[in-house]
Amino acid sequence: MRLSEVYLIARREYLENLRTKAFWIGILTFPLIITLALGVPMLLARAKEARTFAVLDHSGFLLRQIEEKQAAQDLNAAFERAAQAYRQGSPAFAELPEMLRRLALALLPLEETQRGQVLDWLAQVDLPAGAGAGLPDPTRALLEQRAELLEWRRDVSPSQLKDLGLDFAQSRYRRVEIPQGEGDAQTRLNQLVAQGDLFAYFVIGPDPVAGAQDCKYVSQNLTDTELHDWFSRLATAVVRQQRLAQVHLDPQTAHWVQAPLEFAGRRLDEGGAEQQVAFGDRARQWAPLAFVYLLWIAVFTSAQMLLNSTIEEKSSRIVEVLLSSVDAAELMAGKIAGTAASGLTVVGSWSVFISLAVAIVPGLLGGSAIAVVQIIANPFYLCSFVVYFVLGYLFYAALLVSIGSLCNSLQETQNLMMPVLVPMMVPLFAMVPVGQDPNGLLARILSFIPPFTPFVMMNRAAGPPAPWEYLATALLMVASIALATRAAARIFRIGILMTGKPPRLREIWKWLRQGEAR
């Protein structure tokens, strides 16, 4: 085989691929996936309209206490935001609304338990007798002005909350009063829900402390459970406090009784010492799943480019001109090498995008998103991705180039493609089981089945597998590629010049057995 001729064909194939739309779509695929995965959920969450709901309260107390508890939680979030700016000496503290600055300065000197009690008082319309006794003057003054603070919370707009970095429940859920009209209240609410003028409504029974009898949630949309879950959490917290008071059980004792027994996650470093398990550690365990999916896309796209190129040149008779200057083996090798270079160019562009994301994303997104991007940029994962891309592509390219040489159009490839597509689908179906147990028996077995090896070994990267497994599977893939390429060359030599109806599997098997003959 003349390497100079293989190089010329590979160079021509590479330049031809650069001019195709599929090549540039491949380059943009990864950045688009990452951008959509990170950006779309954020945009959709911001664009989601506030859910309107009503409450029919037969208890006479639960709705009021739920709203007071939510007000206390919102005021606590506002305090934490202002207190953080004050402790850091940030100029942003002076830019906060006056009510938030007064809230922070009044609560900062207090202990945490005392601060929680004051926040509960601030959210109440009627203060209990003796509230504020013994507190500093600024705190007592704030209690007297709580109506002004609650008014600010009620009237603050979603855009102002966004500027302040706050997320009040009123931005997502808005309670409306039950409209007056004919019939009972529940009938009117049913009409509003049926017409789409009301997202949902709650019915609180006469004695929610005794039980949930007559408590209902009515909505036409049962897939969006955020409103239901939010209101239920608040109602449960209020009812639990009422029940504790009835049995004269101290809240701290009740909390201790109900506290779960949690086992703190730990991992061992290279020296055998224990380390805490952070978000990045858990995300790193599942990161290979994303790489497996992208590896599948990269291998399939590149191999498909080779298949399309082979069929196009055969149907247009260009291949006959090429075979007048080179033999079939050189033509096949050049086409595989040229398309491999195209695929590596795409993968390289993805690496450049990852590097840019590592530099840009920390200034735009939160800590968890930063951790995800840093995990994606892990050199070990990137190098593994490139190696397994080359191995997987060369294996499947040999299969697809032989299929392409047998067909005159893409339509004729449908029947012959199934034996290739099925093995490529199995690693996708096994991604989660292998990710859960990367060094288990299933993962080890699949690692030594050549059609699955590149995808499964990439999936096991977080394990990671033992060094001997990397070496053994790499040698297995090299041997499998050599066998597949040799078989493909025999088919390619005969099929590339054939016209008419594609051969049957029995004929292809005869070609393989004939070896170099013909």
Count of other CB atoms within 10 angstroms of residue 177: 7
Q: Would you kindly state where each structural domain of the chain is located, as residue ranges?
A: 3-37+278-514, 47-249
Closest CA to 199 of 227, 179, 161, 235: 227
- Whether the per-residue pLDDT at 57 is higher than 90: the answer is yes
DSSP state of 170: G
- Whether the per-residue pLDDT at 375 is higher than 70: the answer is no
Pick the more confident residue, 416 or 394.
394
DSSP state of 96: S
What span, in angstroms and rounded, lies between the C-alpha atoms of 468 and 474? 10
- Cα 365 to the center of its chain, rounded Å: 14
Query: What mean pLDDT is reported for the chain?
Result: 81
Tokens of 307: 């298949």
What span, in angstroms and rounded, lies between the C-alpha atoms of 158 and 170? 8
User: If DSSP codes are grouped into helix, strand and coil, which group holds residue 274?
Assistant: strand
- Whether the per-residue pLDDT at 146 is higher than 90: the answer is no
- Whether the per-residue pLDDT at 443 is higher than 80: the answer is yes
Residues 163-200 pLDDT 10s: 888 888 888 899 999 888 777 888 899 999 999 899 99
Q: Within 88-111, where are the H helices?
A: 92-95, 98-107
Q: Give the per-residue pLDDT at 181.
A: 75
In degrees rounded to 5, what are phi and psi of residue 222? -100, 0
Q: 317's torsion region: left (phi>0), alpha (psi -120 to 50) or beta?
A: left
What confidence category does residue 204 fall into, taking pLDDT thresholds of 50, 70 and 90? Answer: very high
Count of other CB atoms within 10 angstroms of residue 220: 11
- Whether the per-residue pLDDT at 236 is higher than 90: the answer is yes
Of the chain, the end-to-end C-alpha distance in Å amounts to: 18
User: If DSSP codes are grouped into helix, strand and coil, which group holds residue 224?
Assistant: coil
Count of other CB atoms within 10 angstroms of residue 403: 25
